[in-house]
A and B are shown apart, each in its own frame.
Chain A
Amino acid sequence: MNWLEMTLCFPLLGAILNGLILRSESKTLAQIVSVTACFLAFFSALFLSYDVLTHHEGLKVYHLASWIEAGSLSVPFSFLIDPLSSLMLLIITGIGSLIHIYAGGYMSHEKTTYRFFAYLNLFVFMMLLLVTGENFLIMFIGWEGVGLCSYLLISYWFEEDKNAKAGMKAFLVNRIGDIGFLFAVFLTFKQFGTLSFLDLKNILLNSHTLTQEMQNSIALICLLMLVAACGKSAQLPLYVWLPDAMAGPTPVSALIHAATMVTAGVYMMTRLSFFYFLAPQIMTVVAVLGCLTAFFAATIALVQNDIKKVLAYSTVSQLGYMVMGCGVGGFGAGVFHLLTHACFKALLFLGAGSVIFAMHHKQDMMEMGGLKKYLPKTHAVFLLGVLAIIGVPGFSGFFSKDEILWKAFNYPVIGPYLWAFGTLTAGCTAFYMLRLYTLTFCGENRSDHHTKKHIEETPVIMWGPLAVLAFLSVFIGFVGVPAVIGDLVGIPNFFEHYLEPVIKMPHAAEENWHFLRDHHSHALEWTLMGTSTSFVLLGALLGFNFYKRGPKGISLILKKKFSRTHKFLTNKYYVDEFYENIFVTPLQEMSQFLWKIFDLIFINGFINGVGRGLMISSALSSWKNSGGLQTYAVFFVLGCLVFLGFFLK
């Protein structure tokens, strides 16, 4: 058994043990099994990455078995380990392990935790398939598999109708994206006759000119994959499932809906960067879509009162940044933000989880406040997370966000606009994060007397993982310090170099992307950095000052003054209602019509009518064969009369 098989095997084994074999009521047993599985996977992934990166020149393909073979299609179970997939492996299993530990504390009041931990392990397994798959279809197993686990975990507390509905919504919206994925696969197969990433990469990297037909197909494939990414990574217009997904337990939100699954779209685009480079027009769409999503979601986050909803919209917004990064050709920057975001957003969600746990499952920030003194440890790590996400210089979020904004600025024509919106979004982010922080931790506690009495700091099993994540959130950014700063302090940009072998530019695309290699003055970069940082500080200051006295004071005045805008934002631009009225309800009505009118009355009625018609006609004709002698006699006489009449005329 090699390291790869072990990495994949442990989480699956954990899921099967917990979910199908042990099904133990004991919480400790369930947790030990799943945490062990995840940790073993983490260590195997470490060894695997080390092995591949040092001994195999950073690239190794594992063929495990054949899967589907039909006609000219051949899809094996094959896996690719390269810098990108090892990075993802480590994020998933590493942060996954921390969240598994935390979950033990968070779920300690639940009855059937074996189910929870089984799903969690299954999720890790599916996610690993997604990031290690060497062809489209293995990736697709993971792609739909994580969707399944997400569905199961969102509706984990299935007794509540709302949760079951949220799970369904997530699955269905993701399925829309998955159809895009499927058609990209069909088109790839039609055009190239293979589904293997490495084969495709070889074909495209080595071709100098592409026919028009080929270019069109590539553009279409990229567009279809973008639809898939919109579903999974919650971009406009398919982001609607993610905020509802907060119905799941908080560790799930941290692992699936912040750190790993939702970043799958960014991973996938990076994996297919050689395709995307060849479709510059689609890349513009990607960049604009990411930028709009980032801004749009940030504005909604400004006014939400549910602590998890704020973080959810924040996630959508941050994913928008990553997608924008990919769209402007900075795949490395996108993945870098993926990495830092995985750390600080997991921290923030888990921190929010601790708050919710301490507040006895209350999520409304209006009922919180002043938790600084009740939860000092949680407060400390949470604050670090806030500083990281808003991008205070030196913290991890600063480096990755700045990298994306800088790349965006250099994009031709629309670049400065992308940058401007990105910077505005950064300001909004600082505002709503500080609002969240202030409403939760500062000022006076606003909860009812009963709750207030029972607020306690969380156990070590919960704040321990938080401390580790806080450490990462602060320092992980130093692996990718941009050159303009790095040159000053003497730290090389380690990260960009690391991903270089994965993100290759096809020859045929080079002329469209020459600006990526252009040199710009450091002064410009410093200016932009300074501007965005001042926006962040401004946002943070406003956010803090508006809410430091709780939901009173300036914030109340503003709310009254802009009540219409406020209402529009709190109702999330009425997007959900729009979809409901435009798609869901008409579809339902049409289905009812098809069934009750078309099927039952029209088709069935016609067929029964034919039957009835036959019965009536046979009843009519059987009347003459009744078998009654009198009738026959009457007919006989009548016949004779007619006969006679005929002859006697």
Chain B
Amino acid sequence: MFQLIHQYILSLLIFSPLVFCGLSLALKDLKAIRVLAVLGSFVTFLFSCHLWYYFDESLTGIQFVQHYQWISSFGISYFVGVDGINLLLVMLTTFLTPLVLISLFEKKEESTKNLIRLLLSLECGMLGALLALDLVFFYVFWEAMLIPMYFMIGLWGGKNRIYATTKFIIYTVFGSLFMLVAALLLYLQHYEQFGVYSSSLLDLYRVNFQNINTELLLFSAFALAFAIKVPIWPFHTWLPHAHTEAPTVGSVILAGVLLKMGTYGFVRFAIPLFPNAVELAAPFILGLGVFGIIYGALVAWVQPDAKKMIAYSSVSHLGYVVIGCLSFQNSSLNEEALLGAQYLMINHGISTGALFFLIGVIYERRHTRLFSEFGGLAKNMPWFAVMLIVATLGSVGLPGTGGFVGEFLVLLGSFQAKPIIAIVAALGVLLGALYMLTFCKSILFGPITKEENRSLKDLSFVEFLYITPLSLLVVFMGVCPEFFLKKMRTSVHHLSKTYHHYELLVPDQPFVSAVNKIEKRG
């Protein structure tokens, strides 16, 4: 049994949410569906813990590989695997989903049933996209993720939900289509060079472009798709709308995981597939990233709506991730910066997730998110205040929270590579504190100006249940970053040094090392 789970762990991980989603169709009662869904997502989380535990951080290659031919004449296969680059994002996904589902526990509406089902299928889509090592397979999941999100915003959203969700879908699909064309061209290029069809990433990494212009063109198509997803300035205007209109759970997933798909795409696909093109385009993208940091922070500062503010702050934060991913130095990537960027992705998922949850908490009570409607909440909601301040500090990057570790490493690394980038980006550290503290102040502090706010209740038990883990994690990630960094280090080092001729090794007998490890421990 254990052997079986171990062998098929990735498939179990990807499809168990879908299985539970299917099971939930058989149930009629909302309560039963809720329990089943939380249980299901928790099982998925346990699977990912298994992955975490048996993941061998000393190997550079991919582990837990499953590789089956899908359409063999075209060389398309079901190919999944884990390395240090996607492991933490998988963990983030499986960690956030149960919390999101728990947060629906206090919802009484019948329509919540379908929301739950959508969330489960979304989890399947995200995990598939993260774990895929076959370009076609990846593309299928990449697009599949959009569908649940489209309905989530379109059906459970606010006033302008149709506009927001249409914009979201058209924008992302627009980018993805370019990527699809580029992927096809890449696939043909591979055929030209090696005489076989294959859409496996491991094979495509070997493609050499004779013509730098071709490479640049293909890179641009991929980069556009990812840049829209991140979003890198100026492709960000769908995000504030999507966030404001999305229900709390949608925002948490969107900010927590979906945005990282963009930066993950850069690291997994764009950089190793088109190394020369990336090097050429890097100064341009770095410029956009740095500009986005400042721009996002300034615009966030003057937002009247809490969710819009967090949305713009995401533009700012992901700017750090972008500059961390693209800090080239002496024909290698700066390792500290790359590691910091990976770390920042996780931390942003946690702290922004917490912030969206907390805004959801007061939205539930007051049905508004305008700053002018709040103020002085710390008096009646002390625990809410504690949690909000912790999340704020995580977002500000105070030492002792995860945000610091990530931001520090990114800035340190990019300072070694391109000082000017780091110098401008560091302004974001100041502006970040500016808008986050303004946010905190206008919600928590000052006199209570609205009568309705006098009788607000502090966090309920369920709210505690889904917010506390995030708050604890914000601190834990700051104090013990080693716990996470060690899992990523080898893979990040490998990528940063060898992205020019990147190779991901699949161990001949993928399970031997892991099984040995089990025996050693057991």
Where the two chains meet, the residues of A that have a C-beta atom closer than 8 Å to any C-beta of B are 19-20, 23, 66-73, 112, 115, 137, 140-141, 143-145, 148, 151, 155, 158-161, 163-165, 168, 171-172, 175-176, 178-179, 182-183, 185-187, 189-190, 587-588, 590-592, 594-595, 599, 603-604, 607, 611
Q: Give the 4 A-B residue pairs with the shortest CB-CB distance, closest first.
A: A71-B335, A164-B445, A158-B445, A591-B298
A-B contact pairs, 28 of them (CB 8 A): A68-B409, A70-B485, A71-B334, A71-B336, A71-B339, A71-B413, A72-B335, A73-B412, A145-B399, A148-B398, A158-B376, A159-B445, A159-B448, A164-B445, A171-B433, A172-B430, A172-B433, A179-B429, A183-B422, A186-B411, A189-B416, A588-B301, A591-B301, A591-B302, A595-B298, A595-B299, A604-B237, A611-B170
**Cα distance A189–B378 in the bound complex, in angstroms:** 41
B298 x A590 contact (CB < 8 A):
yes
A591 x B445 contact (CB < 8 A):
no
B408 at interface by CB-CB < 8 Å: yes
**Cα distance A591–B422 in the bound complex, in angstroms:** 22
B437 at interface by CB-CB < 8 Å: yes
B298 x A172 contact (CB < 8 A):
no
B400 x A155 contact (CB < 8 A):
no
Interface centre among B303, B339, B408, B423 (most CB of A within 10 A): B408
Residue from A69, A182, A187, A588 within 8 A of B429 (CB atoms): A182
Residue from A67, A70, A183 within 8 A of B340 (CB atoms): A70
Interface of B is mostly: helix
Given contact pairs A66-B482, A70-B489, A190-B416, A595 touches B302 in the complex (Cβ within 8 A): yes
**Who on chain A is nearest to B299 by CB?**
A595
Given contact pairs A171-B437, A591-B299, A179 touches B426 in the complex (Cβ within 8 A): yes
Residue from A140, A161, A186, A604 within 8 A of B422 (CB atoms): A186
B379 at interface by CB-CB < 8 Å: yes
**Cα distance A148–B429 in the bound complex, in angstroms:** 15
**Cα distance A171–B396 in the bound complex, in angstroms:** 11
Within 8 A of A (CB), among B214-270: 234, 237
**Cα distance A20–B471 in the bound complex, in angstroms:** 13
Given contact pairs A70-B485, A161-B447, A186 touches B433 in the complex (Cβ within 8 A): no
| A288 nearest CB across to chain B (Å) | 26
**Cα distance A163–B446 in the bound complex, in angstroms:** 8
Given contact pairs A66-B482, A175-B430, A159 touches B447 in the complex (Cβ within 8 A): yes
B76 at interface by CB-CB < 8 Å: no
B429 x A175 contact (CB < 8 A):
yes
Residue from B234, B415, B489 within 8 A of A190 (CB atoms): B415
Interface centre among A19, A20, A66, A143 (most CB of B within 10 A): A66
Interface centre among B340, B398, B445 (most CB of A within 10 A): B445
A158 x B299 contact (CB < 8 A):
no
**Cα distance A151–B437 in the bound complex, in angstroms:** 10
Chain B residues near A143: list those with CB within 8 A.
399
| A558 nearest CB across to chain B (Å) | 40
**Cα distance A172–B432 in the bound complex, in angstroms:** 10
B444 x A158 contact (CB < 8 A):
yes
| A217 nearest CB across to chain B (Å) | 12
A182 x B426 contact (CB < 8 A):
yes
Residue from A20, A66, A175, A607 within 8 A of B237 (CB atoms): A607
A189 x B412 contact (CB < 8 A):
yes
**Cα distance A619–B423 in the bound complex, in angstroms:** 49
B405 at interface by CB-CB < 8 Å: yes
A183 x B295 contact (CB < 8 A):
no
Chain B residues near A67: list those with CB within 8 A.
479, 481-482
B13 at interface by CB-CB < 8 Å: no
Given contact pairs A148-B393, A172-B433, A587-B298, A159 touches B438 in the complex (Cβ within 8 A): no
**Who on chain A is nearest to B334 by CB?**
A71
Chain A residues near B482: list those with CB within 8 A.
66-69
Residue from B399, B423, B447 within 8 A of A140 (CB atoms): B399
| A436 nearest CB across to chain B (Å) | 31
| B119 nearest CB across to chain A (Å) | 29
B412 x A185 contact (CB < 8 A):
yes
B441 at interface by CB-CB < 8 Å: yes
B430 x A176 contact (CB < 8 A):
yes
Chain A residues near B339: list those with CB within 8 A.
70-71
Chain B residues near A179: list those with CB within 8 A.
426-427, 429-430
Chain B residues near A182: list those with CB within 8 A.
408, 411, 426, 429
Interface centre among A145, A158, A185 (most CB of B within 10 A): A158
Given contact pairs A71-B335, A73-B412, A164-B445, A145 touches B400 in the complex (Cβ within 8 A): yes
A155 x B445 contact (CB < 8 A):
yes
